[in-house]
């Protein structure tokens, strides 16, 4: 069995803690590798190496740092198929979806190539007699990121690309469920010219997370995962004086107005609700048709589309719609929530509980589910399922639909499907959710805008990627400079006050 490593000081390093986690092939249920779980001492060693390497990297001018990222983009494109295959093998998502995972991270790297422009400061000439004032953006030092299993390429690049472009060193603690791609990314960055020690990959569990939070050298932490862990890291990290940015759970609603193109809305819900087996923080898990007639038409469109979904391993070809969920525990939790929906009175219109894929009986496959007549007191509505389960909550009118999304504790993403511009504008203006789609089901912003939710979906005052990333990974220093006049005339023995 393959034994994975950490990546520290520019080399693959075996774990020394004696603790390991199994890495599964989700399609077969087999353990395909084991990954070391770092101790506090191992994390401290990685931080020490990063701290020693960082000042020289920060002294490299931003344009030269950007050239490393340019080369990294070339290498990502060169190895796209290899990265996608490794990602699919450990996560379970289809090959096109895995390549999209890499691509959306690559686009943030491309944006960060603009570091010379983004890091420019401000200057005021003659703020007073002989006085100039200017600001500069400087690197924090050693930074860290704790990333989730569902996007093992994209989210690490969302964090380390801007951090490195700003002149920081970065400690990446990826998910122990699918750690191979982050290790491959570290290798590619050094092939692109990144100095050794600037990007360290340290695998681990809660012990490694706590070692990051409590290490006094680490200046900032980025996190994506569940809301309870986001709250824990944010609270403890801030208490330790770090800059912290944490993104938590989601329950994304898609409002379907009576005037919507129902085929377009149904197609959007299929991709947004069941793509990647629902394991996306921006997945649509709640459809909110306005009016019973709209709901009936939508359900009628959804049922045949859902029944035609092809579920299978990534090796079955590019026409597979989605693959397995990541672990047996994730599958069990999804099915438990489905049972709760049935018990609490929701109508299970499409029942995937007995789904079984011949030849892959031990895999972590979950069939597609569609609920109708879901109410907001049910567990399937309140909790993030993170699986191929779509709940339909019928709203009597637009205001009730709007309030469903606004009253939910999560505020990551939302969407509305309508032909009416006034309704769309009102929705975009009033909704208390961070990312909004208008006839777009998964409104993930492109790299040059920022990504971030509201309410219990995000903790911290700055979003991921876009301009906010350059603010998060730098500090502003402001200099007031005065060169006294008269020196060129010779010595002066009296101090000339300001006029």
Domains in the chain: boundaries: 2-248+457-479, 252-438
Q: Indicate the pairing of strand 389-392 with strand 284-289.
A: parallel
Cα separations in angstroms, 71 against 60, 78, 171, 188: 16, 11, 21, 9
Phi-psi region of 427 (alpha: psi -120 to 50; beta: other; left: phi over 0): alpha
Neighbours of 29 (CB within 10 A): 17
* Cβ burial 184-211 (10 Å sphere, 16+ → b, else e): bbbbbbbebebbebbbbbbbbeeebbbb
First-to-last C-alpha distance (Å) of the chain: 78
Instruction: Report CA torsion sign: 73, 92, 284, 291.
Output: positive
pLDDT, position 283: 95
CATH architecture of 252-438: 3-Layer(aba) Sandwich (3.40)
Catalytic sites, residue numbers: 281
Question: Which residues on neighbouring strands pair with residue 12, listed in sequence order?
Answer: 7
Q: In a 3-state reduction of DSSP, which class is residue 339?
A: helix
Among residues 124, 239, 142, the alpha carbon closest in space to that of 197 is found at: 142
Tens digit of pLDDT for each residue in 330-381?
A: 999 999 999 999 999 999 999 999 999 999 999 999 999 999 999 999 999 9
Question: Residue-wise pLDDT tens for the chain (499 aa)?
Answer: 899 999 999 999 999 999 999 999 999 999 999 999 999 999 999 999 999 999 999 999 999 999 999 999 999 999 999 999 999 999 999 999 999 999 999 999 999 999 999 999 999 998 888 899 999 999 999 999 999 999 999 999 999 999 999 999 999 999 999 999 999 999 999 999 999 999 999 999 999 999 999 999 999 999 999 999 999 999 999 999 999 999 999 999 999 999 999 999 999 999 999 999 999 999 999 999 999 999 999 999 999 999 999 999 999 988 999 999 999 999 999 999 999 999 999 999 999 999 999 999 999 999 999 999 999 999 999 999 999 999 999 999 999 999 999 999 999 999 999 999 999 999 999 999 999 999 999 999 999 999 999 999 999 999 999 999 999 999 999 999 998 776 566 555 565 555 5
Instruction: Check residue 282 and report its DSSP letter.
Output: T
SS (H, E, C) 365-379: CCCCEEEECCCCCCH
Three-class SS of 126-146: EEECCEEEEEEEEECCEEEEE
Q: Under a CB-based contact definition with an 8 Å cutoff, are residues 391 and 371 in contact?
A: yes
Which tokens hold the place of 433? 């959710």
Task: Summarize pLDDT for 197-256 with one digit per residue, the tens.
Answer: 999 999 999 999 999 999 999 999 999 999 999 999 999 999 999 999 999 999 999 999
- Whole-number Å distance between alpha carbons of 87 and 150: 10
3-state secondary structure of 393: coil
Rounded CA-CA distance 151/319 in Å is 21
Q: Where are the beta strands (DSSP E) in 14-110?
A: 20-25, 30-36
User: Which residues face 288 on adjacent strands?
Assistant: 255
Q: What is the CATH number of domain 2-248+457-479?
A: 3.40.605.10
SS3 assignment, position 234 = helix
Residue 135, beta-bridge partner list: 478
Task: Say how far apart CA 75 and CA 79 lie, in whole Å.
Answer: 6
Q: What is the pTM of this model?
A: 0.94
Within 299-385, strands assigned E span 347-350, 369-372
């Amino acid at each position: 069995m393959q034994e994975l490593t950490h990546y520290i000081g520019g080399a693959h390093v075996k774990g020394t803690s004696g603790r390991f986690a199994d890495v599964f092939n989700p399609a077969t249920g087999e353990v395909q590798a084991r990954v070391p779980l770092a101790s506090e001492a191992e994390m401290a060693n990685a931080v020490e190496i990063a701290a020693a390497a960082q000042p020289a990297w920060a002294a490299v001018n931003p344009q030269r740092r950007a050239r490393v990222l340019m080369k990294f983009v070339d290498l990502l494109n060169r190895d796209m198929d290899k990265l996608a295959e490794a990602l699919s093998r450990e996560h379970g998502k289809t090959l096109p979806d895995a390549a999209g995972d890499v691509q959306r991270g690559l686009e943030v790297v491309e944006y960060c190539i603009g570091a010379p422009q983004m890091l420019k400061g401000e200057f005021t000439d003659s703020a007073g007699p002989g006085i100039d004032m200017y600001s500069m953006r400087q690197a924090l030092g050693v930074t860290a990121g704790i990333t989730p299993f569902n996007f093992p390429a994209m989210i690490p690049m969302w964090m380390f690309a801007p951090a490195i472009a700003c002149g920081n060193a970065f400690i990446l603690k990826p998910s122990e469920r699918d750690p191979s791609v982050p290790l491959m990314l570290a290798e590619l960055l050094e092939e692109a010219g990144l100095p050794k020690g600037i990007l360290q990959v340290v695998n681990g569990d809660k012990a490694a997370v706590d070692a990051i939070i409590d290490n006094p050298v680490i200046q900032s932490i980025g996190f994506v995962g569940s809301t309870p862990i986001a709250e824990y890291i944010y609270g403890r990290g801030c208490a330790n004086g770090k800059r912290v940015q944490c993104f938590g759970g989601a329950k994304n609603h898609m409002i379907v107005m009576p005037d919507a193109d129902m085929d377009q809305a149904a197609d959007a819900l299929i991709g947004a609700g069941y793509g990647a087996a629902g394991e996306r923080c921006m997945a649509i898990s709640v459809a909110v048709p306005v009016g019973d007639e709209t709901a009936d038409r939508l359900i009628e469109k959804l049922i045949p589309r859902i029944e035609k979904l092809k579920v299978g391993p990534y090796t079955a070809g590019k026409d597979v719609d989605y693959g397995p969920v990541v672990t047996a525990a994730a599958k069990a939790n999804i099915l438990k929530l489905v049972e709760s929906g049935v018990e609490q009175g929701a109508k299970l219109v499409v029942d995937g509980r007995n789904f079984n894929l011949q030849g892959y009986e031990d895999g972590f496959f979950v069939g597609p589910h569609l609920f109708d007549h879901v109410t907001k007191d049910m567990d399937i509505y309140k909790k993030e399922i993170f699986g191929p389960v779509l709940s339909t909550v019928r709203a009597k009118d637009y205001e009730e639909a709007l309030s469903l999304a606004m009253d939910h504790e999560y505020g990551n993403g939302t969407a509305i499907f309508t032909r009416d511009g006034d309704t769309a504008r009102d929705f975009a203006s009033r909704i208390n959710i961070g990312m909004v789609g208008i006839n777009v089901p998964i409104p993930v912003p492109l790299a040059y805008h920022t990504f971030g939710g509201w309410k219990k979906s995000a903790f911290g005052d700055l979003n991921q990627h876009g301009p906010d990333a350059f603010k998060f990974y730098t500090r502003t220093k402001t200099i007031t400079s005065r060169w006294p006049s008269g020196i060129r005339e010779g010595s002066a023995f009296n101090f000339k006050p300001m006029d």
